[in-house]
């Protein structure tokens, strides 16, 4: 079965610092996409970043980047220069399956 695991229910980071959120997944496919979504208190799910499995290069979107380790089936999200607006639930997703989420708190 395809599963997505986020082992950090909660994380905290100081404003302007860097934080990494972990995600592992299980698949037998060789070509697929992985996603990180953000859900702020408004509850609107927003795509943060996407990684294509056949691409060696880690995806980057401004302050957000991923560390994609295909062999280890690991897909972590790094947020640099954290801002107060980054506070939210973050979900890792593969196919139509979502991890349990990590609640990120940003301390001023």
Partner 1 sequence: DAGVIQSPRHEVTEMGQEVTLRCKPISGHNSLFWYRQTMMRGLELLIYFNNNVPIDDSGMPEDRFSAKMPNASFSTLKIQPSEPRDSAVYFCASSYEAGSSYNEQFFGPGTRLTVL
Strand pairing category for 33-39 and 88-94: antiparallel
d(CA 91, CA 31): 21
d(CA 94, CA 103): 19
Tell me what percent of the chain is helix, strand and coil, each rounded to the nearest 5.
5, 55, 45
Query: Based on CB atoms, which residue is closest to partner 1, 78 or 89?
Result: 89
Element (H, E) at 61: strand 60-61
Could you tell me which stretch among 15-23, 45-53, 60-68, 69-77 binds partner 1 (CB under 8 A)? 45-53
Answer yes or no whether residue 72 interacts with partner 1 by CB under 8 A. no
Answer yes or no whether residue 98 interacts with partner 1 by CB under 8 A. yes
Which of 35, 68, 75, 90: binder of partner 1 (CB under 8 A)? 35
Nearest distance in Å: CB 96, partner 1: 5
Binding site for partner 1 (CB under 8 A): 31-33, 35, 37, 43-47, 50, 91, 93, 95-101
């Amino acid at each position: 079965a395809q599963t997505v695991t986020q082992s950090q229910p909660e994380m905290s980071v100081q404003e302007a610092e860097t934080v990494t959120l972990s995600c592992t997944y299980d698949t037998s496919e060789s070509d697929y996409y992985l996603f990180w979504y953000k859900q702020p208190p408004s509850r609107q799910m927003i795509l943060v970043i996407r990684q294509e499995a056949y691409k060696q290069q880690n995806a980057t979107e401004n302050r957000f980047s991923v560390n994609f380790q295909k062999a280890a089936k690991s897909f972590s999200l790094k947020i640099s220069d954290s801002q107060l607006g980054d506070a939210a639930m973050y979900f890792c997703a593969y196919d139509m399956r979502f991890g349990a989420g990590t609640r990120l708190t940003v301390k001023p």
